[in-house]
């Protein structure tokens, strides 16, 4: 059988590989504690599940959904954006529900990029920006992110020729994997840059609702002129513990939303309507569950930061997102260090290199692990003596 060359260009998706290793270890009897994937362990709030139960009994919900979602859902998304960010959206032209943000992010590349085109991609980053670009036959121009810059973009480092030719720029704050945050001014700077160079700005705000000590992330849609140049991707996954239900949205520039709709209409048949009803409940119902989740993550964050600090790692305390991103000792690659943790103390973390070359030297720990597992994992970390690296 002859497969496409794009398959050869794909590295194994990091979490598929990690899940395989965990399954193998557990089958061999190991008591693995995983700080791997960012997948909330806390159940979806009861009112949202109740809505699903009711919606599942309604025969119209058993049929094909529309690709652009129920009008009530698009209105609920617009309502949430208004309430949360004071951003006004036209639910008919500026909102598109997605089968999770990942689906929209992957498909977005097909709206903008032809073979040979250039996309600006941060590194380290959520891998789907680069993979979508590759599927479209386009080239990624990497924008390195550095700790010394607070993991923010250095727009001056983008060569003029690249700025002129690039068609899209990906951006993600609060950031996965670094947990960095961007101010409204940072987002305004990037928006102005994209407007100046006629680049479509694709902002991924999947973690905007996970902020600690009262931190409230800005939306790129709050920037003046944002809708002229960009869309924002959002997800119900992390905010409402809904990763398993697969629902998110894109909002913003009406032409860009229409293009994404056109691609999707030819490739998928929308989100199950009962799941759309869950999202309506989540977005328009009481929001206490969000603060309750954040309080749980904040306690875990503090526990994990304490454990990593006691190991002598120079860990920054994240202000947002579900991740602790920490530098590792000299002499190790991030993959070697993650492998050591797994081999020595049955702890799973994600190597920074899974997010690109500039993630090397760091590991990411997800806080979506039950409290008692977090405690167990932290105790193991605290009592582990970091062995010298091979050849060190
Ligand atoms: C930065 C970022 N964007 C998007 C997603 C995907 O979200 P969803 O579950 O809505 O597909 C993730 C998932 O981990 C993510 O980390």
Q: 206 CB less than 6 Å from ligand 1? A: yes
Calpha distance 182→173 (Å, rounded): 6
Calpha distance 372→188 (Å, rounded): 41
pLDDT-derived band at 391 (thresholds 50, 70, 90) equals: low
The alpha carbon of 41 and the centre of ligand 1 are apart by a number of angstroms equal to: 15
The alpha carbon of 366 and the centre of ligand 1 are apart by a number of angstroms equal to: 13
The alpha carbon of 236 and the centre of ligand 1 are apart by a number of angstroms equal to: 9
Calpha distance 258→337 (Å, rounded): 45
For ligand 1, atom 16, the nearest C-alpha belongs to 176
Measure the CA angle with vertex 122, ends 118 and 125; round to 5°. 120
* 161-184 pLDDT per residue, tens: 999 999 999 999 999 999 999 999
For a ligand 1 pocket test, name from 103, 145, 176 the mutation site with the most ligand atoms within 8 angstroms of its C-beta. Answer: 176
Residue by residue, DSSP assigns 261-284 as: HHHHHHH-----HHHHHHHHHHHH
Calpha distance 285→262 (Å, rounded): 31
* 234-250 pLDDT per residue, tens: 999 999 999 999 999 99
Q: Is pLDDT at 89 greater than 90 in this prediction?
A: yes
Structure tokens at 32: 């693995």
Q: Is 180 exposed, middle or buried (0-12, 13-18, 19+ CB in 10 A)?
A: buried
Judge whether 236 and 242 are in contact, CB under 8 Å: yes
Mean pLDDT of 46-70: 97
Q: Is the pTM higher than 0.85? A: yes
Q: Is 57 exposed, middle or buried (0-12, 13-18, 19+ CB in 10 A)?
A: exposed
The alpha carbon of 102 and the centre of ligand 1 are apart by a number of angstroms equal to: 5
pLDDT-derived band at 22 (thresholds 50, 70, 90) equals: confident
Q: Is pLDDT at 12 greater than 80 in this prediction?
A: no
Q: 243 CB less than 6 Å from ligand 1? A: yes
Calpha distance 276→279 (Å, rounded): 5
Specify which residues 149 forms β-bridges with.
Answer: none
The alpha carbon of 389 and the centre of ligand 1 are apart by a number of angstroms equal to: 33
């Amino acid at each position: 059988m002859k497969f496409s060359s794009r398959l050869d260009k794909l590295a194994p998706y990091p979490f598929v590989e990690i899940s395989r290793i965990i399954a193998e270890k557990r089958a061999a009897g190991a008591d693995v504690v995983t700080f791997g994937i960012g997948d909330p362990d806390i159940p979806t709030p009861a009112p949202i599940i109740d809505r699903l139960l009711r919606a599942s009994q309604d025969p119209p919900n058993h049929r094909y959904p529309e690709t652009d979602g129920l009008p009530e859902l698009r209105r609920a998304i617009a309502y949430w954006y208004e309430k949360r960010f004071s951003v006004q959206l036209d639910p008919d032209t500026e909102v598109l529900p997605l089968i999770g943000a990942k689906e929209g992010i992957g498909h977005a590349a097909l709206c903008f990029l032809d073979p040979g085109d250039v996309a600006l991609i941060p590194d380290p980053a959520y891998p789907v920006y680069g993979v979508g670009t590759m599927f479209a036959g386009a080239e990624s121009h990497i924008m390195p992110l550095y700790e010394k810059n607070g993991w923010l973009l250095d727009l001056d480092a983008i060569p003029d020729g690249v700025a002129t030719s690039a068609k899209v720029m990906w951006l993600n704050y609060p950031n996965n994997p670094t947990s960095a945050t961007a101010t409204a001014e940072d987002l305004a700077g990037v928006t102005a840059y994209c407007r100046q160079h006629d680049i479509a700005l694709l902002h991924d705000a999947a973690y905007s609702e996970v902020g600690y000590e009262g931190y409230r992330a800005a939306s790129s849609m709050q920037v003046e002129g944002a809708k002229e140049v960009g869309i924002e991707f959002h997800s119900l996954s992390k905010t409402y513990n809904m990763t398993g239900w697969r629902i998110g949205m894109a909002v913003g520039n009406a032409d860009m939303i229409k293009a994404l709709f056109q691609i999707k209409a030819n490739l998928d048949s929308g989100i199950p309507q009962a799941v759309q009803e869950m999202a309506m409940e989540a977005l328009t119902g009481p929001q206490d569950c969000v603060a309750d989740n954040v309080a749980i993550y904040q306690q875990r964050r503090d526990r994990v930061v304490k454990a990593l600090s006691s190991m002598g790692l120079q860990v920054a305390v994240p202000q947002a997102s579900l991740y602790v991103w920490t530098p590792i000792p000299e002499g190790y690659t991030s993959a070697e260090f993650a492998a050591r943790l797994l081999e020595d103390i049955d702890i799973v973390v994600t190597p920074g290199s899974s997010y690109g070359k500039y993630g090397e030297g760091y590991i990411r720990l997800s806080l979506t692990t039950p409290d008692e597992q977090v405690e167990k994992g932290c105790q193991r970390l605290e009592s582990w003596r970091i062995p010298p690296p091979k050849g060190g």
